[in-house]
Structure 1
Amino acid sequence: MNYTAEAPAVWDPEAFTDAEDCLLCADQCVVRAQHYFVKGMIEIPVIGGDETFSWGVWVSISRDSFSRAADLWDTPGRESEKPSFGWLTTDLPVYPATTLNLKTYVHTRPVGERPFVELEPTDHPLAVEQRTGISLDRVREIAAAVLHAGEDAQR
């Protein structure tokens, strides 16, 4: 019920892995000390059940928002922070239109939980699914597409 991206779409392991001004860890990423990313969850309700399907995605946020999130990383009550504006930087190829650069709001959650990523309410299929939910058949369709993409990448 969850698929996750390991890095933002702009991450280039050959160019950035050993660079002093770049960082990639499980929850944060910095590219050339100019671009700042956090990992969060796009949650989609599954219709007819009490489960949630989620995408682990990367969102580009401002330097100030990134610094504030880092300052509050281990602070209880951090979830009371106002959401940060960001741009989705994960391409989810199971959608007919690119998911790159969709507008988002990143909502901080309690310590130990990844942020909730709220998509701007547009007509993009991902935003529609977040608002209206998906069927279990759609979850299976996504799983098959992700599995197939993984097999193609290994070839």
Structure 2
Amino acid sequence: MTSSTFTCTSCDELHDGPPLSFAFPAPAYWNDEVAEAPGSVLGEEQCVIAGEHFFVRARIILPILDSDDEFVWGVWISVSEQNFHRMSELWNDPARVDEPPYFGWLSTQIPIYAPTTINLKTKLHTQPLGTRPLLELEPTDHPLAVEHRTGITRARVRSIAEQLLH
């Protein structure tokens, strides 16, 4: 699917896109209060809250069935302290692709899904240097997990854009 323009059914205006990805800037648990807490840091790819909760950025890919493109959710995953440190040790090591998947909990609330996407079980797959990890959702009947497994249509991509752009 090529990025062009579309008339939005929410506002009846012309928009660029629809976008093929949406990303969230921080885990759902990040706020002004935790940002001030000792041991809290929010980086581009990693986040620590109060030195006790550890997060990494990842991608959930939804195949677009009637296109050669993919739709990507940029999300945050909670991982154990041990796995966070292991991932950090291997951050710049090309051999990181040989790591087994890390267990994690989805820590992003994607607002168009009900029930909540918070705490869906995941497996985090490291990728080659310079590429964010891929996320595999536990195969449940949650709507996000279903779309992750079975894919979405171009019409669904447009619907997502219409919901999130307003």
Paired with 1:28 and 1:66, the residues of 2 have a C-alpha distance of 9
Q: Which runs of 5+ in 1 are unaligned?
A: 149-155
User: Deviating runs (4+, > 3 A) in structure 1?
Assistant: none
In structure 2, the partner of 1:142 is 160
How far did residue 20 of structure 1 move? 3.1
In structure 1, the partner of 2:82 is 64
Q: Which runs of 5+ in 2 are unaligned?
A: 1-19
- Determine which of 65, 69, 76 is the counterpart of 1:51: 69
In structure 1, the partner of 2:27 is 8
- Determine which of 99, 116, 129 is the counterpart of 1:111: 129
Equivalent pair of 2:75/2:106 in contact (CA under 8 Å): yes
Paired with 1:88 and 1:43, the residues of 2 have a C-alpha distance of 14
How far did residue 15 of structure 1 move? 1.4
Paired with 1:46 and 1:139, the residues of 2 have a C-alpha distance of 8
Paired with 1:19 and 1:32, the residues of 2 have a C-alpha distance of 6
Q: Deviation per CA, 1:77-115, whole angstroms, max 9, x where unpaired?
A: 211100000000100011121100000000000010000
How many residue pairs were aligned? 147
Q: Which has the larger radius of gyration?
A: 2
In structure 2, the partner of 1:37 is 55
- Percent identity of paired positions between Structure 1 and Structure 2: 49
SS at match of 1:139: helix
The one-letter code of the counterpart of 1:122 is T
SS at match of 1:134: coil
Q: Give the structure with the larger helix fraction.
A: 1
- Compute the RMSD of aligned alpha carbons: 0.8
Are 2:94 and 1:79 equivalent residues in the alignment?
no
Paired with 1:121 and 1:17, the residues of 2 have a C-alpha distance of 33
Paired with 1:96 and 1:73, the residues of 2 have a C-alpha distance of 34
